[in-house]
Amino acid sequence: DQQVKQNSPSLSVQEGRISILNCDYTNSMFDYFLWYKKYPAEGPTFLISISSIKDKNEDGRFTVFLNKSAKHLSLHIVPSQPGDSAVYFCAASATGSARQLTFGSGTQLTVLP
């Protein structure tokens, strides 16, 4: 039973447009959320995070939105660049088991030139 779900295995967007990656969670104890990015043959790298006390966090071209009532978060990339093509993983943790991250299954983003 997946507690963190990324229902879109893949997404293609044109360079310069907005990429929106979605993530849903079921565990109401999750209070911290992260996005990781992974290139082929490499380990994931941390991208951006958000605490449940916020509904938005921005870092350059990357913005994460959190809707707690819907148990939904999204990652917006504006403008999208070909170098953004990678697999994006959503992850969540709960205070009390804060060392354990639960990951979604990932979304392959392809940014077309």
Q: Please pick, from the candidates 34, 73, 77, 111, the single residue that binds other proteins as defined by CB under 8 A.
A: 34
Rounded CA separation 51/79 (Å): 24
Binding segment for other proteins among 13-21, 60-68, 69-77, 86-94 (CB under 8 A)? 86-94
- Decide if residue 44 touches other proteins (CB under 8 A): yes
* 89 near other proteins, judged by CB under 8 A: yes
Does the N-terminal peptide bond of residue 79 adopt cis geometry, omega within 30 degrees of 0? yes
Does the footprint of other proteins cover residue 96 (CB under 8 A)? Answer: no
Task: Give how many residues touch other proteins by CB under 8 A.
Answer: 23
How far apart, in whole angstroms, are the C-alpha atoms of residue 50 and residue 93?
11
Residue with tokens 């994006």: 88
Q: HSE (CB half, 13 Å, CA atoms) of 57? A: 16
Q: 28, 48, 30: which is closest to 88 by C-alpha?
A: 48
| Stretch of 10-18, 45-53, 60-68, 77-85 contacting other proteins, by CB under 8 A | 45-53
Site of interaction with other proteins (CB under 8 A): 4, 6, 32, 34, 41-46, 49, 89, 91, 93, 98-106
